[in-house]
Amino acid sequence: MARKTIDGTVSDAYLALLADRGIDYFFGNAGTDFAPIIESFAKAASLGWKTPKPVLVPHENLAIHMALGYYAVTGRPQVVMVHVNVGTANALNGLINAFKGNLPVLFTSGRTPYTETGELAGRRNREVHWPQEMRDQGAIAREVVKWDYELKNAETLETVVDRAINIAMSEPRGPIYLTLPREALGAKADGFTYDSPSRHATPTAPYPDPAAIDEAAALIAAAENPLIITGDIGADPAAVPPFAAMAERFALPVAQRKAKFLGLPSDHPMHLGYDSDPYLAGADVIVVAGCDVPWIPSTGRRPGPDCKVIHLGADPIYRSYPIRGYEADLAITGTLGATIRALGDALATHEKTARARIDARRKRIAADWRKLRDGWAAALERVKGSSPIHPLWVSHCIDNIRGEDDIVMVESPLAASQMHFTRPGTMIGGGAGGGLGYGLGMALGAQLAARDRRVICTQGDGAYMYGNPVPAHYVARAESLPILTVVFNNEQWGAVRRNTRDMYPDGYAAKSNREPLTYFEPGVAYEKAVETNGGYGERVTDPAQLPKALERALDAIETEKRQALLNVVCSA
């Protein structure tokens, strides 16, 4: 333990403190409020002081998703800074995704100067400083952050920074919001001292109640047809091996519903696909492990009245959701990794008495597993020559060219049934709050975190437009991040079309076969956007040509070290 000292401004001390606390990157979209920060970065570069690396990201939605992508790969939260209230508003889409997805980020913004006259550094000196001020800037983001605060002075700086990190990283994890007035950042802080390392430890993760674990194990061991439904267990890659081992040992079938991370290897014998609905009615015990929507009650496909339902997670009832009425006969609080390990140990004490049920179930599941995969293969065979290109064929071709360790960012109709993921951390999604446009930013953040691995970003055409493509391709060039982007271009909002037809199957919109506010004009040349920043772009319309097109794109990122994009014209 030591005390470190820095002479300069609060801004100087702030950047030094962030670096000391392990922050690698400072993703910024600058405005007039950044003057002290910019001066401090320049000073640090001149004097050899350590700071996070500044990365200019010319759109706030892109910046926050880059930080989330970096965290998804490394497990370390990063700093984002945007321009006062307007920048905060632009970043809200990503902030909502971070909050609902339990992805921590130190989200910060400037605050309009509050002094009109006087000698304070940072006082108002531009016309915009009057109309931009708000009575409560934190209110913009308060519903979708765990904590918000405004930095007051040097005296509170260390406490504020450490508290921001502690709260963001305590379970369930998530974003915080810190506002930084120019006057506070520009103030003198000569002789500023701070502890290194920090003496403000992040709280340990909650451990599951042993009695509740024993109760859950007894219910599962006595069940004939247990079912596990998971979505986010793979958010912690370390949780995947014990989860896979438990499922196999005790013949527990798993459905990965709307999974944003790899929860089980694709070839795992207990992996029963990506839809829990077919298994709900027959289940006598259901374990919901990190899945906010395990089924949709209004469809009528739900567990039987006698089925016991167990929920697991750091926040098993999803407290931030205003209403969520799923049955919960037992809800166990604890991180999924710790809970799965404890549950596996508890199930082992019942293994002998449950052996006959386990063996019989294993045979049934093996038949279901084979039937499911035969159906996936038959579906691909039916569409592989279709024109427009079918998403199943696009997914199959991507799977054929990817390496085992490649990272695939999913914001597209990528068909998980056609992918063969074996390693935790190789499939990543976002958008937990429904905010589109996360894919490009998270892919760039992932590439920044793993420069020795290939990153493939799969995008729907609408999601691609949401993702601020020109800024994204700019950052890819500026930071030497040669990702491959594959756009599934079906020239429509597919989700909008499906939901309209679900609600009005015989309505005027369905009969028109060209629903308003749903279709894009055909022929958009998305491949040209990447060319504006020196990337390789290609439009693909022939399914037979897609494999070679993917090879050319990979050659561009591997041999030429430049980003690439394929605009694949495909069916809905």
The ranges assigned to domains in the chain are: 2-196, 210-367, 384-569
Please report the pLDDT score of residue 31 as a whole number: 93
State how beta strands 2-6 and 192-196 pair. Answer: antiparallel
Residue 498 has pLDDT above 80, yes or no: yes
Distance CA 329, CA 309 (A): 5
Give the predicted TM-score (pTM) of the model. 0.97
Q: What is the DSSP letter of 130?
A: T
Total Cβ atoms within 10 A of residue 345 = 14
Range 96-108 average pLDDT:
98
Residue 493's pLDDT band (cuts 50, 70, 90): confident
End-to-end CA separation in angstroms for the chain: 59
Residue 1 has pLDDT above 90, yes or no: no
Question: Which residue has 């905060």 as its token pair?
Answer: 88
* Mean of all residue pLDDT scores within the chain: 96
Please report the pLDDT score of residue 92 as a whole number: 97
Is the Cβ–Cβ distance between 448 and 495 less than 8 Å?
no
Question: What is the architecture of the domain spanning 384-569?
Answer: 3-Layer(aba) Sandwich (3.40)
Residue 555 has pLDDT above 80, yes or no: yes
Please report the pLDDT score of residue 101 as a whole number: 97
Nearest to 311 by CA among 297, 329, 296, 324: 329
Residue 409 has pLDDT above 90, yes or no: yes
Residue 572 has pLDDT above 90, yes or no: no
Residue 494 has pLDDT above 90, yes or no: no
Please report the pLDDT score of residue 65 as a whole number: 98
Please report the pLDDT score of residue 97 as a whole number: 98
Is the Cβ–Cβ distance between 10 and 197 less than 8 Å?
no
pLDDT tens-digit readout, 150-184: 999 999 999 999 999 999 999 999 999 999 999 99
Range 113-129 average pLDDT:
91
In CATH, which superfamily holds the domain spanning 210-367?
Answer: TPP-binding domain (3.40.50.1220)
Q: Find the angle CA(333)-CA(334)-CA(337) to the nearest 5 degrees.
A: 145
Range 346-358 average pLDDT:
97
Question: What is the architecture of the domain spanning 2-196?
Answer: 3-Layer(aba) Sandwich (3.40)
Sign of CA dihedral 433, 435, 436, 442: negative
pLDDT tens-digit readout, 502-551: 899 999 988 898 889 998 999 999 999 999 999 999 999 999 999 999 99
DSSP conformation letters of 248-265 = HHTT--EEE-S-SB--S-
pLDDT tens-digit readout, 44-95: 999 999 999 999 999 999 999 999 999 999 999 999 999 999 999 999 999 9
Residue 332's pLDDT band (cuts 50, 70, 90): very high
> Could you give the 3-state DSSP secondary structure of residue 444?
helix
Same fold, 2-196 and 210-367: yes
